[in-house]
Structure 1
Amino acid sequence: MAQIALIAPAATVIPIITGRGKQQKLSYAARRNKVSLASLVPSWRLERVPRLALSNNNNSGDDRKTSVVVKVSEGGAISLPHGWSAQKEEEEDQISEGLKKMKGSNNRFFTVGLVAAWYSSNIGVLLLNKYLLSNYGFKYPIFLTMCHMTACSLFSYVAIAWMKVVPLQTLRSKVQFFKISALSLVFCVSVVFGNISLRYLPVSFNQAIGATTPFFTAVFAYLMTFKREAWLTYLTLVPVVTGVIIASGGEPSFHLFGFIICVAATAARALKSVLQGILLASEGEKLNSMNLLLYMAPMAVVFLLPATLIMEENVVGITLALARDDSKIIWYLLFNSSLAYFVNLTNFLVTKHTSALTLQVLGNAKGAVAVVVSILIFRNPVSVTGMMGYSLTVFGVILYSEAKKRSK
């Protein structure tokens, strides 16, 4: 789009008269004696007008307010006031292009940084959970989950109420409150079961089972909403399930109880996503992920507190006793809990700054990265059969994502 730039005294009143006789008057305090008329002349008019720089030949140094009239006809002719000459200006184009490139580069760096933070927090909290529950010997997964939810409650309030990361969305009714409570309960089950499974299974096998989430999502969506997918979508779930069966047969550290609990955690995760779509389907009840966490996390603490006291008796006293012998346990819990919130924050930001397709691809790759990193850190034995099974599962998930995208 062509523009008109006017070099004028420091303060200028510029009436613009179009070919149809309409007149606009705007006053500009020009920086460096330069006034841009891009916002004054209608865009349909600018398309016909060549880019010009109009320079004032009056060098008297008078900075008083002056009045200049520029007429733009429908054919694109310009009537210049007396004492003003026209010349081509290319420097402004170069500056504009440079600023656009710089902005695009900064956006790319910001997005890459977000993805790196998302990967680091996701894999970090997973590996730290495994270390605490299995290697370190802190055998209290419910209490650990309650620490996570407590941190999410505090940080969510700070981020939304004080820092205004996103606008606060209020609950509109008791019905909406009970719906979110149900989601919070299912969410608690998925997280607690996932943490319990880490006591018995290596992270690599845990991630292989977790990759079957699309299978359970499709099953629950059909059972609860009678929603049917295209036959090709269901067909892509075959390698997803087959890969886990193969990986289970070739897993050197296979544990039946851990396997069952991990499958239950994966199913609960899928059930939560389906329930969220059903319970918060109306426009008035929809919440973004940050606000949903703000309400779900405190409810989760309420659910987890009695479970902790009953099933993990005297866990607080045991933790304090451990801290007297090794103070690092307190820092582990604080850092792990903070990281659990950071997972949700970065997930929201990555979702906001990338496309849905990019998020799917990044999510699939994240599981594979977590498997490799966990094997390098914990040195758990893996078999060729197990890796082939996991690879088949990931391949099935990619096919499933493609099939869902085409069906839409």
Structure 2
Amino acid sequence: MRSLFTIGLISAWYSSNIGVLLLNKFLLSNYGFKYPIFLTLCHMLACSLLSYIAIEWLKIAPLQRVRSRLQLLKISALGIIFCLSVVGGNISLRYLPVSFNQAVGATTPFFTAVFAVVMTAKREGWVTYVTLIPVVAGVIIASGGEPLFHLFGFIMCIGATAARALKSVLQGILLSSEGEKLNSMNLLMYMAPIAVLVLFPAAIYMEEGVIGITVALARDDWKFLLYLLFNSALAYFVNLANFLVTKHTSPLTLQVKLLGTGKCKRGGGRGYIDHDIQNPVSVTGMLGYSLTVAGVVLYTEAKKRNM
């Protein structure tokens, strides 16, 4: 029964992710709306509001109070780290091709494994760690064979990747720690407003004129506002499902599942900046990408055998 529940969670998570991605592409194609940071800001506003309604009005989950300053600090760190992953990922896409950005993102399980050991002392079997070697080696090879390599973009991409991994581990702690445990809905309700406070100035600075453009699009076509609201509401279910999957599996397994679906558009629509989707890929780069994918497959098989 527990396995069926977990499969259902993952299926719901995949489905809602696909829905958000399709809506993101629709907004880009039909309205030219290429503002991923502002879109993520809308997502977090929806998460704040819908979580509050679900807890306070609908009583779907009991309200849990923040118990200590340390717990509040961890929740704040989670929100800030999430924002750093979004902003860093978008900055990196200005300098790096999408294909290379995805290859670097494939090292997320490696960083997750490192942070899990450092922060929780939780260790996987040695075979699991061995399977992560080709994942990292593939990125190193791809870096050497990338004709459009940019050092600053690479640093930002690695930083965003590490931030995603740290977020997964930290949310796992907040969802399962006996002394500081929060259910998924409460954690999202507390984390989302903090993310809004960080994302708002980032959107204003990095996506100049986005508020005026959004208002103008809404005035010209009221359906745009409807699509934006539905997109934000669906993103709430994506984030909620993300927390639930983390709780019922593990942060490391979560990140490899993400890679397995080819989901490197994290952060609520980073795929908007796919202006260089037709960038040339060298033979060395293809070798690196293939090695990375092989590592993900090996990891999945290792986890199956250890279950």
Whether these two folds match at TM > 0.5 is yes
| Structure 1 residue 213: Cα displacement | 0.8
Establish whether residue 389 from structure 1 lines up as the match of residue 288 from structure 2.
yes
Establish whether residue 181 from structure 1 lines up as the match of residue 89 from structure 2.
no
| Structure 1 residue 328: Cα displacement | 5.3
Q: SS at the partner of 2:65?
A: coil
How far apart in 1 are the matches of 2:25 and 2:242?
21
Q: Which has a greater percent of helix? A: 2
Aligned 1:331-370 pairs, distance under 5 A: 331-348=226-243, 362-367=257-262
Pick one of 306, 330, 334 that aligns with 2:201: 306
Q: 8 Å contact 1:245–1:389 — kept in the other structure?
A: yes
How far apart in 2 are the matches of 1:355 and 1:228?
14
> Are the structure 2 counterparts of residues 331 and 250 from structure 1 closer, same or farther at C-alpha, using a change threshold of 3 Å?
farther
Q: SS at the partner of 1:367?
A: coil
Q: 1:295 maps to which residue?
A: 190
Percent of paired sites with the same residue: 72
1:64-105 CA-partner distances (Å, limit 9, x unpaired): xxxxxxxxxxxxxxxxxxxxxxxxxxxxxxxxxxxxxxxx9x
How far apart in 1 are the matches of 2:45 and 2:277?
32
How far apart in 2 are the matches of 1:201 and 1:332?
30
Establish whether residue 213 from structure 1 lines up as the match of residue 112 from structure 2.
no
| Structure 1 residue 187: Cα displacement | 1.4
> Are the structure 2 counterparts of residues 329 and 307 from structure 1 closer, same or farther at C-alpha, using a change threshold of 3 Å?
same
Aligned residues: 296
Letter in 2 for 1:261: M
1:2-44 CA-partner distances (Å, limit 9, x unpaired): xxxxxxxxxxxxxxxxxxxxxxxxxxxxxxxxxxxxxxxxxxx
| Structure 1 residue 179: Cα displacement | 2.3
Pick one of 112, 120, 134 that aligns with 2:15: 120
Pick one of 165, 168, 181 that aligns with 1:273: 168
| Structure 1 residue 113: Cα displacement | 6.5
> Are the structure 2 counterparts of residues 261 and 115 from structure 1 closer, same or farther at C-alpha, using a change threshold of 3 Å?
same
Q: 1:236 maps to which residue?
A: 131
Q: 1:330 maps to which residue?
A: 225
Letter in 2 for 1:121: S
> Are the structure 2 counterparts of residues 155 and 324 from structure 1 closer, same or farther at C-alpha, using a change threshold of 3 Å?
same
User: Structure 2 length as normaliser, TM-score?
Assistant: 0.72
**Structure number with larger C-alpha Rg:** 1
How far apart in 2 are the matches of 1:123 and 1:208?
20
| Structure 1 residue 243: Cα displacement | 2.0
Q: 8 Å contact 1:196–1:258 — kept in the other structure?
A: yes
Structure 1 residue ranges without an equivalent (≥5): 1-103
How far apart in 2 are the matches of 1:235 and 1:111?
26
Q: 8 Å contact 2:108–2:255 — kept in the other structure?
A: no
| Structure 1 residue 297: Cα displacement | 0.4
Aligned 1:74-113 pairs, distance under 5 A: none
> Are the structure 2 counterparts of residues 280 and 330 from structure 1 closer, same or farther at C-alpha, using a change threshold of 3 Å?
closer
Q: 2:63 maps to which residue?
A: 168
Q: Which has a greater percent of strand? A: 1
How far apart in 2 are the matches of 1:135 and 1:201?
25
| Structure 1 residue 181: Cα displacement | 1.1
> Are the structure 2 counterparts of residues 300 and 368 from structure 1 closer, same or farther at C-alpha, using a change threshold of 3 Å?
closer
How far apart in 2 are the matches of 1:389 and 1:383?
11
> Are the structure 2 counterparts of residues 384 and 306 from structure 1 closer, same or farther at C-alpha, using a change threshold of 3 Å?
closer
Q: SS at the partner of 2:134?
A: helix
Letter in 1 for 2:17: N
| Structure 1 residue 245: Cα displacement | 3.5
> Are the structure 2 counterparts of residues 379 and 188 from structure 1 closer, same or farther at C-alpha, using a change threshold of 3 Å?
closer
Q: SS at the partner of 2:261?
A: helix
How far apart in 2 are the matches of 1:394 and 1:402?
13
Pick one of 28, 31, 37 that aligns with 1:142: 37
Pick one of 147, 151, 156 that aligns with 2:51: 156
Q: SS at the partner of 1:342?
A: helix
Letter in 2 for 1:393: T
How far apart in 2 are the matches of 1:251 and 1:349?
37
Q: 1:194 maps to which residue?
A: 89
Letter in 2 for 1:284: G
> Are the structure 2 counterparts of residues 332 and 158 from structure 1 closer, same or farther at C-alpha, using a change threshold of 3 Å?
same
How far apart in 2 are the matches of 1:351 and 1:278?
10
Q: 1:283 maps to which residue?
A: 178
Q: SS at the partner of 1:291?
A: helix
Letter in 1 for 2:292: T
Letter in 2 for 1:180: I
Q: 8 Å contact 2:171–2:243 — kept in the other structure?
A: no
Letter in 1 for 2:163: A
> Are the structure 2 counterparts of residues 131 and 348 from structure 1 closer, same or farther at C-alpha, using a change threshold of 3 Å?
same
